[in-house]
Amino acid sequence: MMKRNMACIVRPEANNKVSRYKDHGRAPMPHHPSFIPGIGRRSFLKGVAATGIAAAMPISARIWAQQGQTLRVSAYADIDELDPGFYQNGYNVDVMNCIYTKLIRYKPGREWDWELEAAETIEQVDDTHIHFRLKPGLMFTGGYGEITAEDVKFSFERVLLHDSPVKSDWGPLDHVEVTGRYEGTIVLKKPFVPLWTIALPYGTGHIVSQKAVLEAGDGGDFGMNPPCFSGPYILEQWKPNQSIYLVRNPDWNGEAPGFDNIRILPMDDTKTAERAYEAGDLDFTRITLSSLAQFRDNRPANTVIEEYPSLYYVWLGMNIDNPALSDINLRRAIQYAINVDQIIDAAYFGEAKPANGLIAPGLPGHREKPTVPIDGNLDKAREFLAAGGGPPREPLTIDALNATVWKTMAEVIQAQLMQIGIQTRINVQDSGSFWTIGMESEGDRWKKMQLVLNRFSMLPDPYYATSWFTSDQVGIWNWERFSNPEFDRLQQQALSETDPDKRAAMYRRMQDLMEASGAYKFITHEGTPVMYRKGLEPALRPDGQPLYPEFSGTL
């Protein structure tokens, strides 16, 4: 998930905060007190340690399953970054989950929660201190020895030390204090709510070997050349744009994975993955919403279909700094001319729901309704247009990815804007080209960009959604070039706000500000239908994202 479909995106420069995601998304998550920090904080703090201990899995608890069997799955893009401290995009993290270990991981299921992985215990001592103890006996490959607290310290601190583009995941991390071979304390400068939802169980939470990384370089980004592995699988073979082949790590002493091997086939277009599944080349795949009804009615043999909600957010963005869109009246007119219901009906065959903002239902900060009606208001659109001096003389451009769903959305928007006399031209582009349109580091294309259909993926904390629209993200991932001091201030305050109600109100206000700028028309959070062979027991996050090491069953 995270970042989008962009196999060949050029990473932002090192000092660019950010990025991960777009494309693939899923799921409103049911509220879970232990996962949405700040809710019942005192009881949460008390309970974490106990929960952690209780959840601790005995090493090798799972019997070695599926000897010799290969799990075949698809990914929506090919891997392009395997350093967890500098991760980009969810498809890379899906592989990292297999080849590195981390203190805690997302717990598969329909509700957001976490469980222990490399940690034997983990406890939030107070708002700024988290004490952990590693399971002894977990080994790095390549003779780099046992995983120790020093490796944990190194793995987390290097993210800040080397100015990782995803250092914001670690927020106000101050340092990690090593108190024993297996024990240590994560020390924060101030409370950081997303620690449990993003920092620890996701990309930057993975542990790498200090010795191996320093031998390979200066401790910075090792890109696609991992010096060693620490997870249940190792990367055996990577054929760019063809396949990723993972095999069981013989040195792994943790919980045994469900399959001996995993073959991941990068497929940009989910429709292609659907056909590959039907042809028997895949055991598990995401399916498109437009195909869902067909698959429900005509289910492939020996197949289970499940639907998960999605955290993704899809929106039409408008470049405020483009001269043609500099008048807020025109932007507001566009907002009001767009009927989201029609878009969803056409592009998703009615299988998705309209979005009220960036933040999906179930997450703190989700808005019950947008300030601009979902189905628009043509009269109001015409009023704004008249106030702005009428339609632009030249057609506006709509940039979109070249997959059918985006083209369809763009064509519907084109027709809707024509109703108020705004002409548009659609630029469809492949993912490599599309995902750099708004980046200043990639040339001047951002200046010409006007309307853009975009989708970012999400992690289960609202901060993850809003972090891409702050002023310091302008020209990086903030392609609308929206800049608002109140928004920036709230973004910082909400990170440390432990009162859930106050925090949710902050995020709702931030989305109001975005909408009031006229630069955003929120469309949908999509959904995540998946299908897989009977006998397979997929391990999925509540938003339908796969956790491959925990897949089990018989194929």
Partner 1 sequence: MNETSATSPTAPDADDRLLSEPSLLTRSLRLVGGNRSGAIGFVLVALIVFAAIFAPWLAPYDPTAIMTGPRMAPPSPEHWLGTDNLGRDLLSRVIAGGRVAMLVAAAALGAALTGGLSLGLIAGLGPRWLDNTLLLIFDALRSFPTIVFGLAVVTIIGPSLFTVILVVAITSIPIYARIVRTQTLALKNVEFILAERAMGAGIARILFVHVLPNVLGPLLILASMDVPLVIATEAGLSFLGMGVRPPTPSWGVILNDGYNFIRNSPWPVISGSIPIILVTLGFTFMGEALRDIFDPRLRRTH
Binding site for partner 1 (CB under 8 A): 271, 290-291, 294-295, 298, 346, 402-404, 407-408, 410-412, 414-415, 425-430, 432-433
CA distance 190 to 490: 16
User: What is the spatial distance between Cα 27 and Cα 441, in angstroms, rounded to a whole number?
Assistant: 32
Closest distance to partner 1 from the beta carbon of 276 (Å): 14
Shortest Cβ 408–partner 1 spacing (Å): 6
List, in sequence order, every residue forming a beta bridge with 261; answer none if it has no partner.
70, 247
Beta carbon of residue 78, minimum distance to partner 1 (angstroms, whole number): 17
Q: Closest separation between CB of residue 142 and partner 1, Å?
A: 39
Comparison of 261 and 402: residue with beta carbon closer to partner 1: 402
The greatest distance separating any two alpha carbons of the chain, rounded to the nearest whole angstrom, comes to: 71
Query: What is the DSSP pairing of strand 396-401 with strand 424-429?
Result: parallel
Nearer to partner 1, 61 or 415 (CB): 415
b/e 529-546 (16+ beta carbons within 10 angstroms → b): bbbbbeebebbbbbbbbb
CA angle at residue 141 from 137 to 145, to 5 degrees?
50
CB of 439 to partner 1, least distance (A): 16
Q: By C-beta, is 16 or 290 nearer to partner 1?
A: 290
Task: Tell me, letter by letter, the H, E, C secondary structure of 527-555.
Answer: CEEEEEECCEECCECCCCCECHHHCEECC
Alpha helices, DSSP H, located in 431-479: 431-434, 445-448, 462-466
3 state SS of 552: strand
CB of 246 to partner 1, least distance (A): 30
Q: What torsion do the CA atoms of 68, 73, 79, 82 make, to the nearest 10 degrees? A: -50
For residue 196, give every residue at least 6 positions away whose Cβ sits within 8 Å of its Cβ, in sequence order, or none: 34, 35, 37, 104, 114, 124
Q: How far is the CB of 480 from partner 1 (least distance, A)?
A: 21
* Closest CB 449 distance from partner 1, rounded Å: 12
CB-wise, 137 or 280, nearer to partner 1?
280
- Name the residue nearer to partner 1 (CB basis): 381 or 426: 426
Closer CB to partner 1, residue 253 or residue 402? Answer: 402
Residue showing tokens 């939470």: 205
Q: Work out how close the CB of 349 gets to partner 1 at its nearest, in angstroms, rounded to a whole number.
A: 8
CB atoms within 10 A of CB 452: 22
- The nearer residue to partner 1, 288 or 467, going by C-beta atoms, is 288
- In single-letter form, the type of residue at position 109 comes to G
Please state, in angstroms and rounded to a whole number, the distance separating the CA atoms of residues 7 and 76. Answer: 9
Which tokens is 71 given? 């799990």
| Tokens standing for residue 465 | 């959604």
- Tell me whether residue 147 or residue 287 sits nearer to partner 1 (CB atom): 287
Closest distance to partner 1 from the beta carbon of 274 (Å)? 8
Rounded to the nearest whole angstrom, what is the least distance from the CB of residue 413 to partner 1 in the complex?
11
CB 504 within 8 A of CB 365: yes
In this structure, which amino acid lies at residue 213? V
Could you give the CA distance from residue 71 to residue 547 in angstroms, rounded to a whole number? Answer: 12
Contact status, residue 439 vs residue 476, Cβ threshold 8 Å: yes
Q: Give 9 or 235: the residue with its C-beta nearer to partner 1.
A: 9
Q: Nearer to partner 1 by C-beta: 139 or 405?
A: 405
Our CB check for partner 1 shows the closer of 150 and 278 to be 278
Alpha helices, DSSP H, located in 301-389: 328-337, 340-348, 378-387
Beta-ladder partners of 432: none
Shortest spacing between CB 145 and partner 1, in angstroms: 46
Q: Closest CB to partner 1 among 17 and 22? A: 22
Determine the number of helices (DSSP H) and then strands (DSSP E) in the chain: 15, 22
Residue 479's contacts (CB-CB under 8 Å, 6 or more residues apart) are: 317, 319, 437, 438, 439, 446, 449, 452, 454
